[in-house]
Amino acid sequence: MKAFKDHTPTILEPTDEQNLRDLQIYSKNFLYSHNSTSECIEYGPEILVQKSEGLFIWLILACTYLYEQIQGQISLQQIKDLPSGGVGGMDKIYETTFRRIFSNIEAEKKISVAIEVLAFIVISQQCLSSENIANLLQLDIGDVELCVRLMLSVLKVDIYDGCIQVFHKSVVDYLTDPKRCDPNSAFFVNIAESNIMIAIKSLECLNKELHFNICKLNPGILHKDNLDFEYQVSKIPNHLVYSAKFWISHALQCDLTILISIGEILDFFTATHLLHWVELLSICGSLSTIQVQLPQLIPRFPNQTVVPIQITEQKSIPLQIPMQSKKLINVIKQYFPIKKSSKQTFTPIQMAVPIDTITPIQIAILLKDIKQLVGEFFKPISQSALHVYCSALVLCPEDTRLSKNYYSNFNSMKLPKVISGKDQDWSPCLATFEGHTNWVNGVAWWSSTDGEISLIASVSNDNSVRLWDAFTGIEINQYLGHTDCVKSVAFSKDGTKL
């Protein structure tokens, strides 16, 4: 980054001479290297450049279309028949391309698989390989690889790790915009449906695969002192890591009442796997996910007037859901049927509070408790994941739902028990930032507009300025050099300067 600090970026306009030359070279190379008529090779590049209207992405799409759609030689007339550049021209090429792709997929009878796979690739927070996508979405790996192979004209696959993503952002823009892509087509990606689908699949994955001490770590050794730590972490499946890191991100993009209403997935997770989830996030170095995302999720739970969740067919109590959400639930159930948890193999832990008594309010309370737990014990948990059990859970206030639900379930670990002096409930103090050795004279706070970054700066009579992560209380940096007390501090508007 330092090398580019004083570099002035060059902005290429569509009509820029260099840009037009590059388009001309690309067109000539494409037509020359493919089966084209002599007339096409001579006059085709100029027509392609004119139709592109200076957009390189249109030219790439057009060339891919010519290569895949046209049998035999590419003629000059076929180039003339291409739609002109701009959004409208790209949309026509995308529509033709996807209709051809899904026609081939339909011939293989894999439409339902393709719908899920394309939806995941389009809106995922992090790209995964075919194998990991199959595991996360609970699909056959062969079916997923077939669908990816048939969609390669609009996808790119990393040659090293096999991770898949769309080849250009314009693909996402087209597939998710109902004004540009026909909402009734099989390849249209409904953002709300896709996010709820991935949130559900992620929670199912966590419910199925999370368990105590997933990496078989020694609780007495810190991560940095464990010589095999990196190797042990590498064995955790990427789809499980994705589920742990991003299920909240996907849940935040949809109507939460839908997620709550579809059976026992979320309530089983909160009643059984919250500590396992914290353990995995600590191992992956993503523990701050809890502090960043849970505060956005918790307020969206229904208030105390909402009736309990429907847990089983024998004890069904309908949740009050808006009409527009009911329609979406039916669509989701049609395309993404949810498996009954009774048919899955979960961690054999019997909770102190039976699952069928968990309500949305109790789920929210458990999530608040886990956020508070991670906030108070962030440092030990981040340095050694198993301290979420042997330290944090042991010292968790007695009257909290988290302590009542989880402490008795880890008796086999022979956890220590606090005889006296243990807090009954959470302290009003959210966190203590430790580091200054003298009076603190001033504090400033800054947060990014998306809420992903939150910083606190402090100044002290110890002649130092310190920068903290507001979510975790971890010291990010210490600025020394002052020869006397520092009295005040402030952030610049963009948070890049003190």
Model pTM score? 0.78
> Could you give phi then psi for residue 36, rounded to 5 degrees?
-125, 150
Predicted pLDDT at 262: 58
Sign of CA dihedral 396, 301, 357, 355: negative
Tokens standing for residue 227: 């010589």
d(CA 33, CA 11): 30
d(CA 148, CA 141): 11
pLDDT (average), residues 319-331 = 43
Predicted pLDDT at 324: 40
Task: Show the beta-strand stretches assigned E in 334-473.
Answer: 440-447, 454-460, 465-469
Contact yes or no for 186/242 (Cβ under 8 A): no
Contacts made by residues 311-319, CB under 8 angstroms, sequence distance 24+ = 311/263, 311/264, 311/267, 311/355, 311/356, 311/358, 312/264, 312/356, 315/356, 319/257, 319/260, 319/261
Contact yes or no for 466/475 (Cβ under 8 A): yes
pLDDT in tens, 378-394: 989 999 999 999 889 99
d(CA 371, CA 295): 8
Lowest average pLDDT, out of 96-100, 138-142, 260-264, 291-295, goes to 260-264
Sign of CA dihedral 350, 353, 355, 356: positive
pLDDT in tens, 56-91: 888 888 888 888 766 677 888 888 888 887 677 888
Sign of CA dihedral 341, 342, 345, 347: positive
pLDDT in tens, 16-61: 788 888 888 998 898 888 877 888 888 888 988 888 888 888 888 8
d(CA 370, CA 479): 33
Residues 6+ apart with CB under 8 A from 261: 309, 310, 319, 321, 325, 329
Residue type, 443: V
Please tell me whether residue 477 adopts helix, strand or coil conformation: strand
Sign of CA dihedral 189, 191, 192, 194: positive
Sign of CA dihedral 434, 436, 438, 443: negative
The label of the residue with tokens 């200076």 reads 54
> Could you give phi then psi for residue 400, rounded to 5 degrees?
-80, 150
Instruction: Give percent above pLDDT 90 in the chain.
Output: 34
d(CA 112, CA 107): 12
Predicted pLDDT at 197: 92
